[in-house]
Structure 1
Amino acid sequence: MGYALNWDLDVFFKGGSSSGEFLQLLEEIKQDVEILDRLVFEIDPKGDETALKEALDLYKITRMKVAQAGSFIGCLEAQDVQDKKASQLRTNVLKVEASLRMVSFRLDEKLVQFNDDWFEDILKKEPLNELAYILNERRDRAKEKLSVKEESLITQLSMDGFEGWSQMYDTIVGSMKVPFKGEALSVGQAANKFSVPDQSVRNELFIAWENAWEEKSELFARTLNHLAGFRINVNEKRGWDDILKEPLEICRMEKKTLESMWEVIADNKDPLVRYLQRKAELLDLEKLSWSDLDAPIAVTATSNVMDYQEGADFIIQQFSKFGSTLAEFTQMAFEESWVEAEDRPGKRPGGFCTGFPLDNQSRIFMTYSGTPSNVSTLAHELGHAFHSHVMGDIDPLNRSYAMNVAETASTFAEMVVSDAAVKTATTEEEKLILLEDKIQRSVSLLMNIHARFIFETRFYEERKQGYVSADRLNQLMVESQKEAFGEALSEYHPTFWASKLHFYITDVPFYNFPYTFGYLFSLGIYAKALKEPDGFEEKYIALLRDTGAMNVESLAEKHLGVDITTRDFWEEAVSACMQDVEEFMRLTDPLVRKA
C-alpha cells in the first residue's frame, strides 16, 4: 500500500473545523493566559527569582498551545479555502494569540526592570542558565520598543487592521479562478502547469494567469499598502528608521552579513544569465520569458515525472545516503501521514511546513503533480520538519530559531536529494534533468528572491511618502526583475507582487532574503559534509539544535569556523552554485551544436 496523499489532522483534533476538542483548547489557553497574567504581575523586579521561574514555566506551555492552535487552523484553511468555519475560528485564534502577546509584553517589561547585576547572576544558575541567550535577547529588544501599554494597544489594533488585511489577501486569493482551456483552475493548480513542455500552453496560461491577478490588482494594491502603512507607522513610533531593522532582528543577523551576501550575488550573475541564454537556445527561443523559467528543456520533456510514491521513496533513498536519522524520520513522516499532497481544486497555492509542538509533530502542505520541482519542494518541507523534530527535547524557549536558519535546514535537505541524484544518474539525459532542476533553484534563490528584495526595499521607501498605486507596483516589480535577472528575459511578471503570498505575511517583513541566506549557508554546511562524511549527521544535528539560542554569525563561527560578515564565505558559496552551471553548459554544448 502506498503513502497517503492526505495528511492526518484528526490525531490532534477530531472533527476538523467542527472539533469540540479544539474549542476546549482555546478555552484552556484563555484560562492559562489569565493565570499567567497574575503570575507576571507578582514578579518583583527587585529580585523575585521564584515568581519569574513559575511565570516562565506557564508561559512556555501556553505558547506551545497557541502555536498548536494556529497550526491547526492554518492547515484547515490551506486544505480547503472554502472552509468558512475555519476562517471564523481564525479570529478566535488571533484573539488568544493577541492576549498572550500582551502578557508577553508585560513579562518583558519585568525583565527590563530587573537590576542588571542581579539578572546576570541568576542567569548563571540552573535552570535559567540554559535560557541566558533568549532572556537577554528579549530584555534587549524590549528596551527598544514602546511601553507595555502602547505595545498592547498596537497588538489589539492589529487584529482588525494589520492581521485583518493579511486575512483579506487570503480571502481574495481563495476565491480566484484562472480560466484555462475550459477549466476554472485554482491558483495552485495553475502554477503547477508552468512546467509543461508545450510553450504555446505556457504562453496561453501565463496570459490567463497575469489577467487573473491584474483583474484584482486594485484590491491587492490596497491590501499591500495598508499592511506596509501599518508596519511603517509602528516602526516610526518606536523610532526605527531602518525598515530592515525588524527582519534582521527576527533573523538574528547583522546588516553587514546581509549586505555582503547581496553584493556577492549581484557581482556574480553572469553564469546564471548564460544558463538562461542556453536554455532559450535549447527551447528554440531568442530569449526566455517569465513563463519559460520552469519549462523543461526539450530533451527532457517526457522524462521527468514521478508519482507521489516514487517521489517519496526517492527522497528517503537519497536522505539515507546522508544519514540514517534523517531517512528514518522521513519514512515515519510518510507512514504517519504528515503530508497533504493531493492535486485537487480548493487548496491554497504554495507549500509550507507547520509545527504541532504539543505532540512534537509537523504537517507539510503542497500540491504534488510529479515534477522535479515538486520533489524538491517536498524535500524542502521535510527539512523543516526534521529541524523541529531534532529540537523536540530542548527547552521550548530555545526552540524558536530564526527564519533564515530555518531555511538552511530545508534547503540543505533539498541539496542532499538533488546532488545525490545528479551524481547517481545512469544516463547523461537523466543527469541533465536533475542538474537543471538544481540550477533552477539557484535562479529562484539568487535572481527571483533578489528581485523580491529589491522590490520590497523600494516599495517601502515609496510607501513612506504615500499610497503606491497598482500601476506603480507593476512598474517597480518589472524594474526589480530586470535588475535581478540581468535583463536576461524577454517578458517579465508585472503582477508578481500580487501573486506572491510572502509579501502579505504579517509575522515577518521581508520574507525573502532568509531563503537566499539559507540556500547559501546550507552550501557551506554541505561542503563540510562532503569533506567530513563520517559522523557528519551528528554534527549537523548539533548545529540545528543550536539555532534557537545563537545569532547566525556565532552559529557559523562555532560550527563552520567562518566569518559570514565578510564576502569570502559568500564568494565560495556562490561559486559552488556556478559549478552546476558550468556542468550544464558542458552537457548541452553538443545539443546546441547539433541544432
Structure 2
Amino acid sequence: MRPSILKISRYTRTVEQTLDLTWDLSDLYASPTDPELIHDLEAAKAEARSFRERYAGNMATLSPTQLEAAMRSYEAILERAYKPLTFASLAFATDTQNDIIKKVQDQARQALTEVHNLLLFVEIELKAMPEEEFAKFLQAPELAPLHHWLARLRAYAPHTLSEKEERVLNLKSLTGRMAWSQFYTEYTSRFRFRVQVDGEEKELNDPQTRSLLRHPDPAVRRNAHAALYGKYAEEAPTLTYIFNTVLQDRLTDLELRGYTHPLGQTALDDELTPEEIERLLAATEAHYPLVERYHRLKARRLGFERLPSADRLAPWGQEPKVSYLEAKEMTLEALGRFSPKLRQIAQEFFDKRWIDVFPKKGKRGGAFCSGGLPSTHPYLLLNHTDDLDSAHTLAHEMGHGLHYMLMRHQRLLNFGATTPLAETASVFAEILLDDLILERLNSEEERAALLANRLEDAVNTAFRQVMYTRWELEAQQARKDGIQPAELYNQLWRQENQKLYGQSMEFTELDWVAWSGIPHFVHYRFYCYSYAYGYLLVLALYNRYREEGQAFVPKYLEILAAGESDSPQGILAKAGINPADPGFWEGSFKVIESWLSELEALA
C-alpha cells in the first residue's frame, strides 16, 4: 500500500481552500500606503544626517567605548532604513505589476541609498586608520561582538574608493544594476506560455510551465520544454541586452575597485579566496562522470540510448502528488525528529502566515526566504505546484527561515550568513525530509524513485550550479571584448552542458537559450557556486550527524545561531569541519556515489 501522506486527498484540498495561504506583511507595515512607512524613511534620513554631523571625521579619535555607542546608533539607523525596503520588496514579489508598490519600492531604495551615502564615512574612516591605531579596537573587550566585523571591514580597504566616489557608485546603482535587476523580474514575470496538457491548451506562467517539465506524460514535457525555451528564444534580443549591460556593470566595478581575479570580489565577500572557489569547481568537474552515469541509467529506464533533454527532469517512476498541507506536515515532522526546537520555530511560520504559497498572476516565479532584520522575522515565498519538488522547496526555504530565526539574537552587523554557510540549513532540511519519506516507502520501486530524486537534487544543486558558474565566468570574460550576441552566450551554454552531461543527453537547439531564464545571473554575482559549496558542505555535516546522533544537534544549532559573528572556518571548526583539508570534498562525492550505486542495484 502506498503511504497515504504522498497523495492528495479530496479532504486535504477542501481544507486548503478554506485557508488564507498568502503572507501577512502587517508585522512590517499595514499597507504600501501606511504613513508609518514614509515616516521611517524620513526619520532614517534625518537620523543619518545627525549621526554624520556628530561623527564624520572623528571615527579614528573615538575610544572603544565611544565606538561601541556609535555603532549601536549606526545599526539602529540602518534597521530603520532597511525595513521599508524589506516590506516593499516582499509586496512587489507577489504583485509585480502594481504601480503603487513599484513607486514605494523606488522611494525606499532611494532613501536607503541616501542613508548609505550619509553613513559611508564610517567604513571608509575605519578602513583608513593606521594599523596600530585600529588594533586598539580589535583588542577592546567592549567591542568583542564586533571584532570579526571590524576585521572583515579592514580586508576591503585595498578595494575601497574615496567617499565621494563611493557615493557616486551607490547613486548610479539605482539606474544601473538594481534597475536592470528589477526590469528583468518585471519583464519575465509577464511571460505567458501556451502548453497542451491533457488535450487542453493552457496559458501558464514561468513556474507553472517549469513544473510541467516533471510531468509523467512525455508529450506534456515536450510541449512545456518547447513553449518555455521557445519564448526565451523569442525574447533573446531584450534578454541579451539586459545580460550584456549587467555583465559590463560588474566588469566596471571590478576594474574600479582593483580586483585582479573575476572571483575576487565574490571571494572577499564570502571570506574565501578565489583559489578555494576554484578548487571546489575543479573537484566537482572531476566528478562530472557521476552525472553522465546517472543520466545513462535514466535514459535506459525511459527506453532511450541518450536521454532527450525534454526528459531531463522526467520522474523516475510515478511522481507522488504532494499537497501543500501534506508538505507542511512532513516538513514539521522531519524537523521535529531532529530537533523539537526547530519544529516549534517552524510552526510559527505556518500559524502566523509568514509564507505565500501558490502561484498567481503577477507573482514572481521561483522561491526565496527574505531574512528580514534582527528586529523583524523572515518570510517565505513559494510557488507550490503539488509535487515532491515543491515539498522539497518548502523544506529548503524553511531551513533558511530557521537559520535567520536562530541568529536573531545577533546584532545587525553580525546578522546573516556568509555565502559558504548560506545553504547550510536549507539543504540539511531537505535531507531530513527525504530521510522521513524513505522510512515510509515499502517497495523497491518507491525507494528507487526517491533515490533518483536525491540524485536529481545533487545534480541540480551541486553539479549544475558549478556548470552555471563556469558559464558565468566564460560569459564575463567574453564581455570584455564588447557587446556579445545571444549566439555567443548560447555557444558557451552548449559547451558547458556538454562537459557536464557527456554523451548521456540528446539536446535541441532550444536548450542553448536556457541561460537567459536563470535570474541569479542578473540579480547576483557568481552566487551559483555557493549552492554547490553549501550542498556538499551539508553532506559532510550530515555524515557527522549520522556518526554522532543527537550529540551533534547542539553543535549544528550553534553553527546556525552564529550568524556572521565569526568566519565560516571558525564557525565550522566548532563542529570539527575543515573544508580546507586536502581531499575534503571527496567525502561528499562518495555519499553521492553511494546513492547512485544503490539506485543502480535497485534498477
Equivalent residue for 2:11? none
1:288-437 mapped onto 2 (5 Å cutoff): 288-297=307-316, 299-301=317-319, 304-357=320-373, 359-437=375-453
Equivalent residue for 1:593? none
1:519 partnered with 2:535:
yes
- Kindly indicate whether the alpha-carbon contact (under 8 Å) linking 1:42 and 1:51 is maintained by their aligned counterparts in 2: no
- Kindly indicate whether the alpha-carbon contact (under 8 Å) linking 1:445 and 1:515 is maintained by their aligned counterparts in 2: yes
Deviation at 1:28, TM superposition (A): 2.4
- Kindly indicate whether the alpha-carbon contact (under 8 Å) linking 1:401 and 1:548 is maintained by their aligned counterparts in 2: yes
1:158 partnered with 2:173:
yes
1:266 partnered with 2:285:
yes
Match for residue 135 of structure 1 among 115, 136, 150: 150
Match for residue 500 of structure 1 among 507, 518, 526: 518
1:11-410 mapped onto 2 (5 Å cutoff): 11-15=27-31, 17-41=32-56, 43-181=58-196, 182-297=201-316, 299-301=317-319, 304-357=320-373, 359-410=375-426
Deviation at 1:4, TM superposition (A): 4.2
| Structure 1 Cα separation of the partners of residues 451 and 82 of structure 2 | 38
Q: Secondary structure at the match of 1:88?
A: helix
Equivalent residue for 1:591? none
Greater shift in the superposed pair: 184-193 or 347-356: 184-193
- Kindly indicate whether the alpha-carbon contact (under 8 Å) linking 2:128 and 2:157 is maintained by their aligned counterparts in 1: no
Q: Secondary structure at the match of 2:140?
A: coil
| Structure 1 Cα separation of the partners of residues 59 and 397 of structure 2 | 43
Structure 2 spans left out of the alignment, 5+ residues: 1-14
Equivalent residue for 2:9? none
| Structure 1 Cα separation of the partners of residues 552 and 20 of structure 2 | 32
| Structure 2 Cα separation of the partners of residues 73 and 394 of structure 1 | 24
1:444 partnered with 2:460:
yes
Q: Would the alpha carbon gap of residues 143 and 106 (structure 1) be closer, same or farther in structure 2, given more than 3 Å must change?
A: farther
| Structure 1 Cα separation of the partners of residues 307 and 96 of structure 2 | 33
Deviation at 1:367, TM superposition (A): 0.6
Equivalent residue for 1:560? 576
| Structure 2 Cα separation of the partners of residues 238 and 380 of structure 1 | 35
**Cα offsets for 1:266-302 (capped at 9, x unmatched):** 12222332211111222223322332222212x324x
- Kindly indicate whether the alpha-carbon contact (under 8 Å) linking 2:306 and 2:503 is maintained by their aligned counterparts in 1: no
Letter in 2 for 1:520: L
- Kindly indicate whether the alpha-carbon contact (under 8 Å) linking 1:341 and 1:367 is maintained by their aligned counterparts in 2: yes
Deviation at 1:44, TM superposition (A): 4.4
TM-score by length of 1: 0.93
| Structure 2 Cα separation of the partners of residues 551 and 105 of structure 1 | 24
| Structure 1 Cα separation of the partners of residues 280 and 241 of structure 2 | 32
Letter in 2 for 1:75: L
Deviation at 1:196, TM superposition (A): 0.7
Deviation at 1:358, TM superposition (A): 5.2
- Kindly indicate whether the alpha-carbon contact (under 8 Å) linking 1:521 and 1:573 is maintained by their aligned counterparts in 2: yes
Q: Secondary structure at the match of 1:180?
A: strand
Q: Would the alpha carbon gap of residues 405 and 44 (structure 1) be closer, same or farther in structure 2, given more than 3 Å must change?
A: closer
| Structure 2 Cα separation of the partners of residues 32 and 178 of structure 1 | 48
**Cα offsets for 1:348-400 (capped at 9, x unmatched):** 11000002225441110011012111111111111111111111112221113
1:6 partnered with 2:22:
yes
Q: Would the alpha carbon gap of residues 327 and 108 (structure 1) be closer, same or farther in structure 2, given more than 3 Å must change?
A: same
| Structure 1 Cα separation of the partners of residues 266 and 503 of structure 2 | 29
| Structure 2 Cα separation of the partners of residues 425 and 511 of structure 1 | 35
| Structure 2 Cα separation of the partners of residues 106 and 329 of structure 1 | 39
Deviation at 1:402, TM superposition (A): 0.8
- Kindly indicate whether the alpha-carbon contact (under 8 Å) linking 2:291 and 2:500 is maintained by their aligned counterparts in 1: no
| Structure 2 Cα separation of the partners of residues 427 and 64 of structure 1 | 52
| Structure 1 Cα separation of the partners of residues 406 and 157 of structure 2 | 30
Q: Would the alpha carbon gap of residues 70 and 434 (structure 1) be closer, same or farther in structure 2, given more than 3 Å must change?
A: farther
Q: Secondary structure at the match of 2:156?
A: helix
Q: Secondary structure at the match of 2:549?
A: coil
Greater shift in the superposed pair: 538-547 or 485-494: 485-494
Structure 1 spans left out of the alignment, 5+ residues: 589-595
| Structure 2 Cα separation of the partners of residues 67 and 352 of structure 1 | 18
| Structure 2 Cα separation of the partners of residues 27 and 183 of structure 1 | 47
Q: Secondary structure at the match of 2:260?
A: coil
Q: Secondary structure at the match of 2:60?
A: coil
Q: Would the alpha carbon gap of residues 487 and 468 (structure 1) be closer, same or farther in structure 2, given more than 3 Å must change?
A: farther
Q: Secondary structure at the match of 1:219?
A: helix
Q: Would the alpha carbon gap of residues 193 and 112 (structure 1) be closer, same or farther in structure 2, given more than 3 Å must change?
A: same
Alignment root-mean-square deviation, CA: 1.9
| Length, aligned pairs only | 581
Letter in 2 for 1:289: P
1:469 partnered with 2:508:
no
Identity over the aligned pairs, expressed in percent? 23
**Cα offsets for 1:308-339 (capped at 9, x unmatched):** 11110011111111111111111221111111
- Kindly indicate whether the alpha-carbon contact (under 8 Å) linking 1:300 and 1:429 is maintained by their aligned counterparts in 2: no
Letter in 2 for 1:105: L
Q: Secondary structure at the match of 1:387?
A: helix
| Structure 2 Cα separation of the partners of residues 52 and 546 of structure 1 | 23
